[in-house]
Structure 1
Amino acid sequence: MNLYSVGSEIGDALKETLGGWGMWSAIIATISVIGLGFFLTLKNILNKDWDKVFIKVVMVVGLPSLALSGFLTNITVKDLIDQLAVLLIGFAFYALMMLISKYFFLKYDKDLQDTFAMCIALASTTFFGTPIVTAIYGDAKIPANIFNVPYRVFLYSLAFMIMSKKPMAATNNGNVVAKIKKSEMTVEDLAQSKKVKKQALKNIFVNPILIATFVGLIIWVTQLIPGIDVLAVVETKTKSGVIGVDANNNVYEGSISYVDTVYYSPLRIDKLFPPSATILNALAAICTPLAWLAIGMTMAKGNIKEAMKDKKLWYAASIKVLVAPAIILILICGVAGIGSLIVDEGTTIIGKTAMSVMVIMTAAPPANVVVAYAISYEKGAKEASNLTSLSTLLSVVTLPVWVVIVTAVGALPIFG
C-alpha cells in the first residue's frame, strides 16, 4: 500500500468520524452530564456526599455487570489474539510507566515525586475511562475489560508499595496528630499496618469488577473448545437480499425472517437463561450516567480555582492527559508494526478499536485510589486532589482531540 492510498484511508476515516453524529453525540453527552453533575452540586441541588454513593453503585453493580455482559458474545481466534495483545501491551505499559514516570518530577520532593508519578501512570480507566469508551465505540467492552486487568494489578500492588513507603500517620478521632516510625509502633499499630497492606493486596483478586472480568473471560474463551457448543437455542433470524423472481424475471429484494437452531456453549448464561442478559444489561446501563454525574460532583467538591493557579499542577496534568496517552500510542504502534511483519500479510494482531480504547482510557484523570493513597500516607494529598480536578477538566477538553488522533492512526494498515 503506497503513501497516497494510506493518506486516502486516513482522510476517509476522519471524514466518516468527524462528519457523523456518532462520536460527537457521545462526547457531547459526556460533557453535558458531567457538567450537569457539577452544576447541580454547586447549587446544592445534589448533596455533595452523594458522589460516594454513586461511585459505590457504579463500582459494585454497574461496572461488574458491564464487564460480564461484554464477554457474552461469540469469539474467533482473531478476537483472542487481539485481546491477548491488549493484555500484554497493558502490562508492558504500566511496567514502563512505573519505571519512568518519576523522572518527570525530579525537581520536586520525594513525596510529590511518588504521588505525581503514580497519578500520571495510573489513570481512572475503570470509573472514568470505561463508560466513555463504551459510549463512543460499540465494541469497546472487551478490550476495556482486558486493559483493566493489568491496571488493577499494578494499582493495588506496586503503586501501593510505592505510596506506602512513608510510615503511617497516627490519628486521634480521625485527625492526624503525628507520624509514627516503624520502630516506635506498638503491637496494635503494626497489626493495623499489616492489615491495611493485606487488604490492599486482597483487592487485586477479591474485587467485583475483576471477578466479573475473569468469569466473563472464561465464558468467552472456552467457546473455542471443540465440541463445547451443545446448547441448542431456537432463534429468529433475518436474511436480506433477493427474496424472489417473478415470471418476467424481475428480481425482488428485501428481508425475510426465518427460524433456525443455533448451538452455544452451556456457559453462555445469556442463552441458557435469557432473563440474565436483560438483568445484566439493565444494571450495566446505570453505569455511564451515574459515573458521569459523580465525576461532575467530584469536580464541584475540588478547588479548581486554586488548582488553576498552581504551575506544577498544570505541568503534571499536561503530562497526564497528553504525554501518557502518547507513550502508549507509540508502544501500541510499535507492537502492531512488529506484529504485521511476523504474521501473514493482511493480518493484524491488534484492531483499531482496541488501540483507541487503550489510548483514550490512558488519557483519563488520575485514579481515585492513588489519591486515597496520598491522603492515607500524607504524600501530597492536597496536590493529588487538585491534580485530579484539573486533569478531569483537561481530559474533557482533550477527549475529542484524542478521538481524532486514534481515528487517523487506526486507518493505518497495521491496524487492519
Structure 2
Amino acid sequence: MNIKSLIDLQAVMFLEMATGYIIRRFGIVKGESKKVLTSLIVYVALPCNIVKAFMISMTPEIIKQGAMMLVASVVIQILLAVAAAYCYNWLPAKKKMVFQYATVASNSGILGNTIAGEVYGALGLLYSALYVIPQRIVMWSAGLSYFTEAPDTKTVIKKIMKHPCIIAVWLGIIIMFLQIQFPLCITTTIQNLGNMTSPLTMMFLGINLAESGFKSLVTKYSCLYSAIRLVIIPAAVMACCYAVQMEKTAAGVAIVLAAMPAASMTAVVASQYDGDVDFAADIVVFSTILSLVVLPVWVMIVAAVFT
C-alpha cells in the first residue's frame, strides 16, 4: 500500500469515528446502542471478515508463515505478561491493574483485524486472525488475574472455544485446507457482511469518545501508557521480526498488531473488578486517537525495512 492510499485509509477511519462521535453527541443514538454495535461487530461482521480471509488458495508458504505468526504471537504474549507482572509496581494499585491488563490486551481483535485487512489484504487478515488467538488466552487468564484470582483452565478454554472469532478461525482453516467453494450468493453475503467491520468499529470508538469527552485524556499516565503500547512494544517486535527475517506481510501484521491501542474491554473489566474505570476509559480513547497517527508511521517503517 502506497503512502497516499494509507493516508486515505486513515482519513476514512477518522471520518467513520467522527460519525460515531456526532450521532452520539446529538442524541441520534443512545448509550445502549454500543451493545448493539458490539454484538454486530463481534458476532456478525468480524467473523465473516475472518472467514472471508481464509477463502484463498492454500500454499506451503502461507502455512509456513501462518505457523510462524502463531509462534511469534505466543512469544510476544508471554513477554508482555512477564513485563506487566514486574514493571508497574510503582503505580497506585488501581492504576497498576489497568496498566497491566492494557499491556497484555490490545485492540488487536477488532481494530487490529480491520487495519490488517485494509493494509495487507486477505492474507494480512488471515495472519491477524491467527495472531490474536494467544492474546485472547492471556487476556482471559493472566489478564483477569491482575484484578482478581485467575479463572481455572476449564473456564478459560470454554471462553476461547465459544468466542465467535475463534470459531470463525477454525471454520476458515477448514475452508482453506479443503478448498471448499461456495455458491456466489453465499460468498458475496460473507464478503458484504465482513466489509461492515471497519465502519462499525470506528463508529463504536467515536461513540465511546463522545461519552468520555476530551478533558481528562491527556495525563502523564495516559501519555506513558501510549508510549509503551504504541512505540516501545512494536519497536521490540520489529527488532525480533527483523532478526528472524520474517516475510514482509507477516512481519507487517505482527508489528502493526503490536502497535494497537488499549483493548476496549479494559474499561469493562476495570468496572467489573473495582479498578480505576475513568482512567481505563481515558487510556483506551487516548491511545486509540494517537494510533490513527502512529499506525501509518509503523506501516511506512515496515515497508522501508522489510523488502
TM-score, with length taken from structure 1: 0.69
In the alignment, what sits opposite 1:151? 135
Is structure 2 residue 184 aligned with structure 1 residue 293? no
In the alignment, what sits opposite 1:275? 185
Match 1:334 to one of 212, 218, 243: 243
Aligned counterparts of 1:299 and 1:288: Cα–Cα separation in 2: 17
Is structure 2 residue 53 aligned with structure 1 residue 70? yes
Q: Deviations over 1:186-215 (max 9, x none)?
A: xxxxxxx99xx9766522111111011012
Q: CA deviation at 1:384?
A: 1.1
In the alignment, what sits opposite 2:271? 375
In the alignment, what sits opposite 1:395? 291
Residue 108 of structure 1 aligns to a residue whose secondary structure is: coil
In the alignment, what sits opposite 1:205? 161
Which structure 1 residue ranges, 5 or more long, are not aligned? 1-15, 167-192, 224-264, 337-349, 412-416
In structure 2, give the amino acid aligned to 1:387.
Answer: I
Is structure 2 residue 81 aligned with structure 1 residue 98? yes
Counterpart mapping for 1:112-131 below 5 A: 112-131=95-114
Aligned counterparts of 2:182 and 2:188: Cα–Cα separation in 1: 13
Q: Which has the higher helix share?
A: 2
Is structure 2 residue 8 aligned with structure 1 residue 25? yes
Percent identical across equivalent pairs?
A: 21
Q: Deviations over 1:156-197 (max 9, x none)?
A: 22212333239xxxxxxxxxxxxxxxxxxxxxxxxxx99xx9
Task: Check the 8 A contact 1:83/1:143 in 2, yes or no.
Answer: yes
Task: Check the 8 A contact 1:17/1:407 in 2, yes or no.
Answer: no
Structure number with larger C-alpha Rg: 1
Match 1:162 to one of 119, 125, 146: 146
Task: Check the 8 A contact 1:40/1:46 in 2, yes or no.
Answer: yes
Aligned counterparts of 1:103 and 1:200: Cα–Cα separation in 2: 23
RMSD after superposition: 2.2
In structure 2, give the amino acid aligned to 1:150.
Answer: P
Q: CA deviation at 1:272?
A: 4.3
Q: Which has the higher strand share?
A: 1
In structure 1, give the amino acid aligned to 2:204.
Answer: A
Match 2:216 to one of 306, 330, 354: 306
Aligned counterparts of 2:222 and 2:87: Cα–Cα separation in 1: 12
Q: CA deviation at 1:119?
A: 0.4
Q: CA deviation at 1:388?
A: 0.7
In structure 2, give the amino acid aligned to 1:141.
Answer: L
Aligned residues: 306
Task: Check the 8 A contact 2:270/2:276 in 1, yes or no.
Answer: yes
Aligned counterparts of 2:300 and 2:229: Cα–Cα separation in 1: 18
Task: Check the 8 A contact 1:133/1:140 in 2, yes or no.
Answer: yes
Which structure 2 residue ranges, 5 or more long, are not aligned? none
In structure 2, give the amino acid aligned to 1:285.
Answer: N
Aligned counterparts of 2:266 and 2:20: Cα–Cα separation in 1: 23
